[in-house]
């Protein structure tokens, strides 16, 4: 079995690459600039050269704010390019494991979203990812569509993730602004990578939710990090509408790992355990 990871320098792509190396699994990772998913010739020649049995699509236009102003590009990467990817996967009998997001939901449900709940994105990023989902669900013959949320982890792109950003800001300032009315389940990419490995190993198909267990808002998340790091910093609570002025975000985008639980392969830890592990791995504590 040979796996091809698209977006291998991103947060999830980096975690998957590390895991496959450790587990001695045959894989190849590709990313910008040499691989661009919206370039059909590059996509076709990459698949012809690598001849994968499985593709994990972890590449995406992930900047939620930029997706509002660069909608066309975001739609090409997250949505339209999947038509060609799905066509090639069907033609070559490749299993496609595609990664999607909690932002396909509007956030008005007061209970965790289940895999079969109806999507209704409320911002441009969510809309582009929803289009991608629909293409896969309607046309792909052999797929797993894994929805996750609020990812953090190392990346080869060396960009600061949300946890690093919170810590950097807290170390520089006496007080830090955090949003109190967006509820989610922050997820460590190392946990998700291992869960994806199990999904593939068990040939699980269809839509699958996979996030850390339980839920929190960003104030609770920040407080817990500061408690672990023994950082004495004041948190200034703000409402989402005042923080993310230009963009609407779901207030409640918690996903239930229902299918993983029913199949007894849910290995996702509590969000507190996950972030503690990340801080240990990164030698913050
Ligand atoms: N991050 C989150 O909080 C979050 C939450 C829920 C779901 N997800 C989903 O989880 C998946 C992985 O997210 P992530 O956090 O690992 O994202 P990430 O760190 O932004 O990684 C995405 C990778 O894809 C690359 N990429 C962008 N455009 C590309 C293109 N046209 N062709 C090929 N590669 C391209 C990016 O390169 P550049 O960096 O150079 O652009 C980057 O290396 C995505 O599908 C995302 O939608 C993420």
Verify whether ligand 1 is closer than 6 Å to residue 149 (CB atom): yes
Mutation choice for ligand 1 from 16, 151, 182, CB with most ligand atoms inside 8 A: 151
- Whether the pLDDT of residue 119 is over 90: the answer is yes
What does the pLDDT read at residue 25?
A: 97
What does the pLDDT read at residue 245?
A: 74
- Whether the pLDDT of residue 244 is over 90: the answer is no
| Residue matched to tokens 């496609």 | 96
Task: Give one word for 56, left, alpha or beta, with left for phi > 0 and alpha for psi -120 to 50.
Answer: beta
What does the pLDDT read at residue 158?
A: 82
**In Å, what is the CA distance from 142 to each residue of 60, 122, 257?**
20, 29, 21
The Cα 251–Cα 113 span in angstroms is: 13
Q: Which fold has domain 3-160+186-213+253-269?
A: Rossmann fold (3.40.50)
What does the pLDDT read at residue 84?
A: 98
What does the pLDDT read at residue 81?
A: 98
User: Average of pLDDT values for 176-197?
Assistant: 98
Instruction: Specify the ligand 1 atom closest to the Cα of 36.
Output: 32
Instruction: Indicate the average pLDDT of the chain.
Output: 97
User: Average of pLDDT values for 219-237?
Assistant: 97
Nearest C-alpha to atom 8 of ligand 1 is from which residue? 101
Tens of pLDDT, residue by residue over 48-76, are: 999 999 999 999 999 999 999 999 999 99
CA atoms within 13 A on the CB side of 124: 19
The Cα 243–Cα 252 span in angstroms is: 16
CB 45 within 8 A of CB 39: no
CB 146 within 8 A of CB 98: yes
* Type and span of the H or E element at 162: helix 162-172
Verify whether ligand 1 is closer than 6 Å to residue 209 (CB atom): no
Mutation choice for ligand 1 from 59, 75, 159, 208, CB with most ligand atoms inside 8 A: 59
Lowest mean pLDDT among 20-29, 129-138, 244-253: 244-253
CA 251 to chain centre: 18
Verify whether ligand 1 is closer than 6 Å to residue 151 (CB atom): yes
């Amino acid at each position: 079995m040979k796996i091809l990871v698209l977006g291998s320098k991103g947060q999830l792509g980096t975690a998957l690459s590390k895991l496959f190396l450790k587990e001695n699994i045959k894989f190849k990772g590709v990313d910008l600039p040499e691989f661009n998913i919206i370039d059909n010739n590059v996509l076709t020649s990459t698949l012809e050269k690598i001849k994968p049995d499985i593709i994990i699509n972890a590449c995406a236009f992930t900047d939620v704010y930029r997706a509002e102003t660069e909608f066309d590009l975001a739609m090409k990467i997250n949505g339209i390019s999947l038509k060609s990817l799905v066509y090639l996967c069907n033609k070559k009998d490749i299993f496609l494991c595609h990664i999607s997001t909690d932002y396909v939901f509007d956030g008005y449900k007061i209970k965790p979203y289940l895999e079969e709940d109806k999507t209704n994105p409320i911002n441009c990023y969510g809309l582009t990812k929803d289009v991608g989902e629909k293409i896969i669900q309607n046309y792909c013959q052999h797929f797993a569509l894994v929805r996750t949320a609020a990812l953090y982890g190392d990346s080869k792109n060396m960009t600061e993730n949300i946890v690093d950003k919170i810590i950097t800001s807290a170390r520089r300032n006496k007080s830090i602004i955090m949003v109190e009315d967006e509820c989610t389940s922050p997820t460590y990419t190392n946990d998700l990578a291992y869960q994806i490995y199990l999904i593939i190993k068990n040939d699980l198909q269809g839509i699958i939710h996979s996030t850390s267990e339980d839920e929190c808002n960003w104030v609770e998340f920040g407080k817990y990090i500061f408690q672990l790091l023994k950082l004495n910093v004041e948190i200034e609570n703000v409402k989402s509408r005042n923080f993310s002025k230009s963009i609407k975000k779901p207030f409640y985008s918690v996903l239930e790992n229902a299918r993983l639980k029913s199949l007894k392969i849910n290995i996702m830890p509590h969000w507190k355990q996950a972030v503690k592990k990340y801080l240990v791995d990164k030698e913050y504590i």
